[in-house]
């Protein structure tokens, strides 16, 4: 059995010593951002993505080892552990394989097989399996014993069958191979429940649907499971295409013959052959198939969940690292009709300096008054940006802002529509109540909209990542798994950008490496009581911020305008001696060196290596000195919506528009084009060439140009294309209208009958690769119903 560190190293394609060093650091309390940035010598420069994968695999493999030890202990207590079994357990490389091996030894309720063994019927089962030339009824007669509740020959044969069925169903190698064969050959089928057609219209793409397990994308799997959960769809986990299944015959099918082959059972005309084949068929239908269908459901959901979490995490990363507008006075507008538009003005530091409410829309229609009020606030507070929430009444409020700019060009305003996802969650949160106690809940949303334009990262960290809404089917996912993944993304993003310790909020500080919620509150309290921090060293005076927390956090905390210019950079205080050696070599001071690219590029990193700091760290230091505290986020720019397009009914096929990418899924990208309903650019329409991953083309926050392909007002669906050079929509193709659509013809997913029905006496042969073509979905569902009976 390979050591965990070696196994992870092989999976990552790195050396074992790199993994061992990383594990030691993580086990010692170091965070992934700290290890990735400041311990490159130890880990061989593993990046944060590799370290996150390492951390995840480490947890899985350690759980696997714990389970392995528990299983060994359990079987040893039963007195059934021999060297061969022990070796088999040690060789198991996954939890599924381990559980397959443990199945025969797993404590279970008293089964029919156990009762039969207690009645002394195991020798009969062994004899019938080993010598099929015997006539089963004759062989069973000596085992009839009413005192043991074996009343007659039929009872004895039923007991022997139960023993063999359990043995077949608990054979680890057989179950493992059948699991993979079912995955390769079978398909998931769905039909609408009777009378649910109207109520479940949103699932109509799956009313008559089937597709191979291995071909199902994550969004379809989650949609199918959601339809089943809402009692609209009936799902059938079919082990093989209906055309290949023996529905109207008692002869063994592919899987029954596979079981028979494993145990040397064959129809050679001997008296016991038929009984044994029937036993194999019974084992498949009553035990193994049910077990594998449960496995299939779990496997499909886990794969879909993993992909959905990955998509959510990628989108969240893009949103958090969106371009900040910067420290510019901003007016935030939280649109609404009846309740009015909530207004908040924040200064360059994000401090609230004014709030109000205006009523330009129905039913009040106080348009001119609203413009005058906004102009007064903008002039009084020297506002530069207008942030407009993209919810209800967004386009109407956008028009209001446009007219404000038209009537008052001297204000030189720039308007931007901002995603308000999660703003209402923040407004009602305990933190918002503490941060803005004097403001009504409705006004806090306008503040959040303004601040998230200034700095999306600093504002969005105040909101539970799950409430930001950049994922798919998130309510169907494991909350623990999703939260863990998203928290890691937030941590990586915050530490990649760095945090100004003198202005950061407690939620932002809490995401810094080595600092949790308690320390973040202590830092803010110390700052409020004693004034700004003048150096990183001042942080050591914060209660409970000990040497370990300082080591982990100091490099990510910035002191702008402090005593030491290095404190505003990403250079860790532990590496300041290296900088002093660099200064000595360059014969200059720190203020002259920082940002001096010609001098810095003339230095050789190799000249400053010592016992503690190797080439990767020194190289990073020189890069940081050239651009100290550089922000990895892109430059800020805005999108322009067309003035003549406000609602879906204004859209016409062929229109070219500018929009903002709001979400990216496995099947394409959603784009806000200013009509209250995001349009979908299917993956097939994102570029002129083949696109494997939509994120390679677009990310949330990107400004893109799109062409309207189709508009379905009734279903609120807009099909867009980024192929601007096409003069007319392409022909229909699957998935272009919706994220969870089926193929244009569900029957295409059912493999055709391209092999003749195998005769009962045919020996088992390994299956050929399945083909996809015609078939009958109705027959597939009928097979599923028969299986259930």
| Averages of pLDDT over each 10 residues, the chain, 789 residues | 91 96 96 96 94 95 95 95 94 92 89 94 96 95 94 96 96 94 94 93 92 92 94 94 57 88 94 95 94 94 91 87 92 94 95 96 94 97 94 89 92 88 86 91 93 93 82 75 90 94 94 95 96 96 96 96 92 95 91 90 92 93 89 82 83 90 85 85 92 86 90 90 71 40 35 34 39 38 45
Angstrom CA distances, 518 to 14, 437, 490, 506, 533, stand at: 37, 21, 18, 9, 18
Dist CA 553 CA 588 (whole Å): 29
- Tokens matching residue 560: 């702008």
Q: What is the DSSP letter of 12?
A: H
Q: Which CATH superfamily is domain 648-743 in?
A: Nucleic acid-binding proteins (2.40.50.140)
Radius of gyration, CA atoms only, the chain: 33
Please give the pLDDT value at position 244. 56
Please give the pLDDT value at position 235. 95
Strands (E), 126-240: 187-192, 208-212, 233-238
- For 41-100, the three-class secondary structure string (H helix, E strand, C coil) is HHHCCCCHHHHHHHHHHHHHHHHHHHHHHHHHHHHHHCCCCCHHHHHHHHHCCCHHHHHH
**DSSP letters along 476-504, please?**
GS-HHHHHHHHHHHHHHHHHHH-EETTT-
Please give the pLDDT value at position 735. 42
For 344, the enclosing helix (H) or strand (E) is strand 341-346
Please give the pLDDT value at position 646. 80
- Give the domain ranges of the chain: 4-105, 327-418+427-454, 648-743
CB 129 within 8 A of CB 276: yes
Strands (E), 596-726: 656-665, 668-672, 679-682, 703-712, 717-721
Second-level CATH architecture of 4-105: Orthogonal Bundle (1.10)
Counting Cα atoms < 13 Å in the Cβ hemisphere of 49 gives: 5
Counting Cα atoms < 13 Å in the Cβ hemisphere of 268 gives: 10
Please give the pLDDT value at position 789. 42
CB 470 within 8 A of CB 661: no
Any residues with CB less than 8 A from the CB of 789 and at least 6 apart, and which? none
Any residues with CB less than 8 A from the CB of 474 and at least 6 apart, and which? 308, 312, 466, 482
For 395, the enclosing helix (H) or strand (E) is helix 394-407
CATH of segment(s) 327-418+427-454: 3.30.420.140
Dist CA 441 CA 423 (whole Å): 10
Please give the pLDDT value at position 251. 66
């Amino acid at each position: 059995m390979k050591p965990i560190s070696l196994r992870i190293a092989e999976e990552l394609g790195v050396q074992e010593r790199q993994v061992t060093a990383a594990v030691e650091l993580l086990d010692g309390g170091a965070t992934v951002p700290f290890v990735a940035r400041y311990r490159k010598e130890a880990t061989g420069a593993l990046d944060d993505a590799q370290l996150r994968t390492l951390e995840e695999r480490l947890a899985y493999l350690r759980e696997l080892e714990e389970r392995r030890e528990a299983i060994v202990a359990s079987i040893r207590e039963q007195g059934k552990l021999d060297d061969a079994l022990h070796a088999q357990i040690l060789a198991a490389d996954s939890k599924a394989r381990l559980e397959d091996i443990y199945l025969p030894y797993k404590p279970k309720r008293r089964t029919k097989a156990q009762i039969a063994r207690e009645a002394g019927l195991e020798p009969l089962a062994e004899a019938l399996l080993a010598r099929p030339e015997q006539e089963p009824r004759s062989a069973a007669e000596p085992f009839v014993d009413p005192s043991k509740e074996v009343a007659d020959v039929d009872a004895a044969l039923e007991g022997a069958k139960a023993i063999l069925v359990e043995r077949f169903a608990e054979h680890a190698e057989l179950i493992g191979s059948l699991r993979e064969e079912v995955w390769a050959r079978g398909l998931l089928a769905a039909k609408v429940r009777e009378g649910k057609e109207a109520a479940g219209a949103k699932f109509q793409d799956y009313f008559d649907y089937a597709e191979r397990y291995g071909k199902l994308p994550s969004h379809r799997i989650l949609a199918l499971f959601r339809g089943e959960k809402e009692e609209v769809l009936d799902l059938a986990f079919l082990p093989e295409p209906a055309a290949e299944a023996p529905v109207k015959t008692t002869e063994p099918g592919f899987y029954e013959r596979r079981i028979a082959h494993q145990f040397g059972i064959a129809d050679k005309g001997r008296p016991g052959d038929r009984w044994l084949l029937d036993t194999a068929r019974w084992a498949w239908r009553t035990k193994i198939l049910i077990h594998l269908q449960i496995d299939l459901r779990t496997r499909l959901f886990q794969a879909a969940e993993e992909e959905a979490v990955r998509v959510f995490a990628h989108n969240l990363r893009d949103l958090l690292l969106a371009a900040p507008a910067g420290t510019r006075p901003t007016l935030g507008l939280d649109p609404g009709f009846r309740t009015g538009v909530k207004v908040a003005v924040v200064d360059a530091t994000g401090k609230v300096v004014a709030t109000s409410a205006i009523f330009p829309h129905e039913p009040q229609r106080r348009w001119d008054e609203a413009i005058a009020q906004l102009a007064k606030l903008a002039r009084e507070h020297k506002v530069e940006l207008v942030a407009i929430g993209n919810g209800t009444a967004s386009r109407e409020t956008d028009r209001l802002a446009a007219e404000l700019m038209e009537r008052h060009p001297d204000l030189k305003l720039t308007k931007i529509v901002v995603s308000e996802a999660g703003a209402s969650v923040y407004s009602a949160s305990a933190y918002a109540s503490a941060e803005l106690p004097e403001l009504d809940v409705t006004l806090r949303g306008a503040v959040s909209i303004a601040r998230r334009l200034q700095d999306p990262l600093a504002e969005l960290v105040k909101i539970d990542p799950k409430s930001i809404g950049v994922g798919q089917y998130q309510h169907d996912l494991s909350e623990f798994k999703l939260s863990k993944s998203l928290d890691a993304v937030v941590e990586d993003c915050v530490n990649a950008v760095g945090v100004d310790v003198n202005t950061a909020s407690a939620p932002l500080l809490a995401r810094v490496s080595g600092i949790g919620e308690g320390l973040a509150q202590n830092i803010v309290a110390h700052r409020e009581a004693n004034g700004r921090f003048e150096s990183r060293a001042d942080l050591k005076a914060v209660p409970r911020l000990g040497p370990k927390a300082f080591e982990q956090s100091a490099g990510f905390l910035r002191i702008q305008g402090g005593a030491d210019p290095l404190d505003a950079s990403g250079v860790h205080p532990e590496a300041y001696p290296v900088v002093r050696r660099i200064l000595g070599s360059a014969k200059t001071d720190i203020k002259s060196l920082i940002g001096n690219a010609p001098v810095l590029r003339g230095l050789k990193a190799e000249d400053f290596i010592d016992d503690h700091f190797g080439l990767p760290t020194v190289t990073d230091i020189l890069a940081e000195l050239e651009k100290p505290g550089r922000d990895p986020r892109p430059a800020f720019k805005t999108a322009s919506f067309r003035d003549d397009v406000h609602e879906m009914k204004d859209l016409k096929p062929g229109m070219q528009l500018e929009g903002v990418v709001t979400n990216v899924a496995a099947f394409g990208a959603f784009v806000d084009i200013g009509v209250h309903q995001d349009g979908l650019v299917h993956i097939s329409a994102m570029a002129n060439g083949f696109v494997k991953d939509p994120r390679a083309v677009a990310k949330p926050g990107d400004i893109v140009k799109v062409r309207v392909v189709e508009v379905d007002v009734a279903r609120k669906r807009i099909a867009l294309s980024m192929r601007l050079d096409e003069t007319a929509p392409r022909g229909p193709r699957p998935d272009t209208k919706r994220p969870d659509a089926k193929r244009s013809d569900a029957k295409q997913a059912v493999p055709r009958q391209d092999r003749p029905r195998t005769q009962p006496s045919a020996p088992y042969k390994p299956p050929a690769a399945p083909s996809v073509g015609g078939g009958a979905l109705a027959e597939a569902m009928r097979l599923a119903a028969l299986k259930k009976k």
